[in-house]
Structure 1
């Protein structure tokens, strides 16, 4: 087995798969206030996630895998971000694997981060990656404890991921170590529904997401789904 790197010694490439906005975040359509474009919001959420990841300590590059032209153009303009075009989307694991395959530095750790974390704070990602440096493969659960928002592999460990329904349990069954990030970490609040978005807004969403919503994020209450976003 590969000896895990010492904590904090690993530099990382973070791969973020982003679905085309036309089909991404379809569950957000229910509960959004009038005038909010779901596709534009989906792109904003992804770009806020990408920007935060690129600012995290320990991250050398962010690899965005997408077929969305607008995400491609906007992400390519960000420092430390590289885009891999996905010509035929085949699911999250395939997209992540395609991104990981382009990471050329053999001594670099690899991580896959979901692109739906609009409140992500760079320091929360940096903290999780530092924890991931001490295990071969790590995983961070979402706020509900069923999904996975981040998976990691240190240098020399073959890449593996199992995103999808109940992904946290499936990652754990494949010997991923649950990374002990705080329960209130912004890394855990992914957004699939209007209720999730309201909770993320209380944490403080990024500027793109706030602009797409057309509101001051801090005034959105954390519960009540459609009523809270009306």
Structure 2
């Protein structure tokens, strides 16, 4: 398993997760964004193949939390028609300025049920060039892996991103990685990750909101 350097993009908490508005208040959504981000970073950081993690965000609280968790934080680039992919590209460029011609991994920031073993397994079985993990819907992308330079990250996140990434040469890698595949955008997604078991930050936030899983304590088991 070769070393890879991960990048993540997190929008301002006040603008995130609007599709959860039927289940959570604006304040709860903002707190949940930060909690899911923290659990995702902690899970990724526990993978030995992850050489560094860089987070691009306009939110100072997210940036502070990223640094507390050992990640490198960057300010989001100026407004752009495609802010997510612009932010990830900026992070990828920054990583290669600092570390050289390294492999890159773009990871969604809302994977609260992610287990380190899932991500480690993906990095072990993925090809040396471009690869992706489709999300639980089958159309999105939860992780995008690029080979060493000159292979660019070339993120194409957005609607039907799995197809867009495949058309740009990424191979969809198969594997049983439910936590890696389940990002959270809707109340149904929130139910799914609770059933899988979430990390401690997300569990704490949901507990404070009065939300628990059908099985009881919504805490991710160690894997």
Shared fold, TM over 0.5: yes
Task: Return the alpha-carbon distance in structure 2 between the equivalents of residues 218 and 124 of structure 1.
Answer: 26
Q: Label 1:187 to 1:217 Cα distance change in 2 as closer, same or farther (>3 A).
A: farther
2:159 equivalent in structure 1: 165
- The answer (yes or no) to whether the contact 1:141–1:147 under 8 Å persists in 2 is yes
Match of 2:178 among 178, 185, 189: 185
**Match 1:43 to one of 34, 37, 46:** 34
Q: TM-score, normalised by structure 1?
A: 0.84
Matched, 1:31 2:23: yes
Q: Give the conservation status (yes or no) of the 8 Å contact 2:66–2:73.
A: yes
Determine if contact 1:210/1:217 at 8 Å carries over to the other structure: no
The 5 A counterparts of 1:51-70 are 51-70=42-61
Change (3 A) 1:149 1:130: same
Distance in 1 between residues matched to 2:205 and 2:153, nearest whole Å: 35
1:220 corresponds in structure 2 to 213
TM-score (norm 2): 0.87
Q: How far apart are 1:108 and its partner, in Å? A: 2.1
Q: 2-side partners of 1:131 and 1:217: how far apart?
A: 39
Asked if 1:197 corresponds to 2:187, the answer is no
- For residue 62 of structure 1, report the CA deviation from its aligned partner: 0.6
Structure with greater helix share of residues:
2
Superposed displacement of residue 147, structure 1: 0.3
Does the 8 Å contact 2:14/2:26 carry over to 1? no
> How far does residue 36 in structure 1 lie from its aligned partner after superposition?
6.8
Alignment check: 8 A CA contact 1:139 1:178 kept: yes
Distance 1:171 1:35, change over 3 A: closer
Give, in whole Å, the separation in 2 of the partners of 1:217 and 1:180.
Answer: 36
Change (3 A) 1:216 1:86: closer
Relative contact order (alpha carbons < 8 A, sep ≥ 6): 1 or 2 greater? Answer: 1
Residues 145 and 13 (structure 1), Cα distance of their counterparts in 2 relative to 1, 3 Å cut: same
Give the CA deviation at 1:35: 9.9
Larger mean Cα displacement after TM superposition, 147-156 or 102-111: 102-111
Distance 1:83 1:215, change over 3 A: same
